[in-house]
Chain A
Amino acid sequence: MSIATSIQTSDKPLGRDDLAELVARDIAPGSFVNLGIGQPTLVSNYLKPEQNITLHTENGMLGMGPAAEGDEIDGDLINAGKIPVTELPGASYFHHADSFAIMRGGHLDICVLGAFQVSATGDLANWHTGAPDAIPAVGGAMDLATGAKDVFVMMTLLTREGASKIVEACTYPLTGVGCVTRVYTDKAVFLTGPDGVTVRETFGCTLEELQELVPVPLRSAAAVAG
């Protein structure tokens, strides 16, 4: 058996919820975390109380609870996606400059973001397609990308057209340079950094099959550790 098969941890690709569960499991107990809008929000469904994770929302809150329902809905208590949420015991509110100082000052342990593309050295493109008629909107993406200690990306590995979203160099406008540390996809978990891309584990494919899809050199974490 080759090293490559030894890092295959699932016999099929992971669905969005399975991936969210995996990300949740990988977050160290006691972490302060910001979950981006969209797929990353699913991660909150799988955080366990004993992990003691504190969620930050950029519009000015630590200790954010689950989405509000029924009588809990309060227009003054929303998350970054403008969805009504709840507060947990120990929550705190602060103004926008303080909220972004929490990001920009390096106080967040992890942020989880979606992406259009990630480069081999961890450049992130997730805010703008660059299409001439697209209205650009950046929000807090650049602050999160450059400020959090670890930047995790969650995305499908391939576009609808079958192109790899892990690329040698991003063709979409950048959100941040060399900021992504991990990429969670349906087919594999990648570790990115100045030395390129290491594959931690694969889902439903071998490292060799994965390499066929991804146009940058991939190393096996098992080999690196070995």
Chain B
Amino acid sequence: MLTFVDSVNEAVSGIKDGSTVMIGGFGNAGQPFELIDALMDCGAKDLTVVNNNAGQGDQGLALLIKEGRVKKMICSFPRQSDSWHFDAKYHAGEIELELVPQGNLAERIRAAGAGIGGFFTPTGYGTMLAEGKETRIINGRGQVFETPIHADVALIKALKADGVGNLVYRKTARNFGPIMAAAAKHTVVQVSEIVPTGGLDPENIVTPGIYVNSIVKVA
């Protein structure tokens, strides 16, 4: 059921210790900073976080990692010039890393939302990221079996929602939002604007409201 909540803290209040949490964003574009700050405040720990990166600078996901709340990162590109909090935890052996090629990350998330049990892809074939995985030759190409990534909760950012939870995004901030919304059991969205039902052109809806559980407007 869709609910509109008044605060980001209320929006994330159901997140329990040990949850798998998908967090939208590629770099800072589309990263739901306010929801992540609320996740910090709510105290949930031992989290598995799915994001393209492992936080940058001293905000958002980087702080969650710094505070030791993340047990495991599933991501494609943890190492950046300003990923110092992740780097420190990794070198100290205090965080687990599942490194996934970016297209596999996206497709595994998509597969979860689409009810697909797994898929074969040439990406990663013959590399160390395919070690231990089932392979097949399909149409003459080596391919690797990859499984879906499900989540308990997705925290994403969109531009606008209407009264039934339909979403539109803005430019490259869309990135992981639509596929994470479909892959999680419970999807929380922070938006810049809530418009009346009928206020979004149905032809232009990117995420239909069926995937959305909780919406909060962030100034």
A residues in contact (CB < 8 Å) with B? 57-61, 74-78, 82, 87, 93-97, 99-101, 103-104, 123, 128, 133-143, 146-147, 173-177
Please tell me if B170 contacts chain A, counting CB pairs below 8 Å. Answer: yes
Please tell me if B175 contacts chain A, counting CB pairs below 8 Å. Answer: yes
Contact B172 A95 (CB under 8 A): no
Cβ-defined partner of A177 (8 Å) among B100, B142, B172 = B142
Cβ-defined partner of A147 (8 Å) among B28, B123, B170, B175 = B123
Nearest CB in chain B: distance from A134 CB, A: 8
Please tell me if B87 contacts chain A, counting CB pairs below 8 Å. Answer: yes
Q: Is the interface of B mostly helix, strand, loop or mixed?
A: mixed
Cβ-defined partner of B123 (8 Å) among A61, A75, A123, A142 = A142
> Across the interface, which residues of A come within 8 angstroms of B97, CB to CB?
135-136
Please tell me if B102 contacts chain A, counting CB pairs below 8 Å. Answer: yes
- Segment with Cβ contacts to A, from B4-12, B37-45, B64-72, B75-83: B75-83
> Across the interface, which residues of A come within 8 angstroms of B122, CB to CB?
104, 146-147
14 example contacts (A-B, Cβ-Cβ < 8 A) are as follows: A58-B102, A59-B26, A59-B27, A61-B171, A76-B30, A76-B172, A77-B172, A95-B177, A104-B103, A135-B79, A137-B76, A143-B123, A146-B122, A147-B103
Contact B126 A143 (CB under 8 A): no
> Across the interface, which residues of A come within 8 angstroms of B118, CB to CB?
none
B residues in contact (CB < 8 Å) with A? 26-30, 52, 76-80, 86-87, 90-91, 97, 99-107, 109-110, 121-129, 142, 169-179, 206
Contact B78 A137 (CB under 8 A): yes
Contact B175 A59 (CB under 8 A): yes
Q: A101–B179 Cα gap in the complex (Å)? A: 13
Nearest CB in chain A: distance from B79 CB, A: 4
Nearest 9 CB-CB pairs, A to B?
A143-B103, A100-B103, A177-B126, A82-B27, A137-B79, A97-B110, A76-B173, A96-B106, A142-B101
Q: A93–B129 Cα gap in the complex (Å)? A: 29
14 A-B pairs besides A93-B174, A138-B129 with CB distance below 8 A are A58-B102, A61-B172, A75-B29, A93-B169, A95-B106, A95-B175, A97-B110, A137-B78, A137-B99, A138-B77, A138-B102, A147-B123, A176-B126, A177-B127
> Across the interface, which residues of A come within 8 angstroms of B29, CB to CB?
59, 75-78, 82
Q: A176–B28 Cα gap in the complex (Å)? A: 29
Chain A: CB-nearest residue to B177? A95
Chain B: CB-nearest residue to A178? B126
Nearest CB in chain A: distance from B76 CB, A: 5
> Across the interface, which residues of B come within 8 angstroms of A173, CB to CB?
127-128
Q: A160–B176 Cα gap in the complex (Å)? A: 39
Q: A142–B109 Cα gap in the complex (Å)? A: 17
Looking at A74, A136, A139, the one whose CB has the most chain B CB atoms below 10 A away is A139
Given contacts A97-B110, A138-B76, contact A78 B176 (CB under 8 A): no
Nearest CB in chain A: distance from B26 CB, A: 5
Chain B: CB-nearest residue to A102? B103
> Across the interface, which residues of B come within 8 angstroms of A133, CB to CB?
91
Contact B79 A142 (CB under 8 A): no
Q: A122–B130 Cα gap in the complex (Å)? A: 19
Q: A159–B76 Cα gap in the complex (Å)? A: 27
Chain B: CB-nearest residue to A140? B102
Nearest CB in chain A: distance from B130 CB, A: 9
Contact B176 A96 (CB under 8 A): yes
Nearest CB in chain B: distance from A19 CB, A: 25
Q: A147–B123 Cα gap in the complex (Å)? A: 8
Q: A82–B178 Cα gap in the complex (Å)? A: 20
Given contacts A97-B109, A104-B123, A173-B127, contact A57 B172 (CB under 8 A): yes
Cβ-defined partner of B127 (8 Å) among A59, A75, A99, A176 = A176
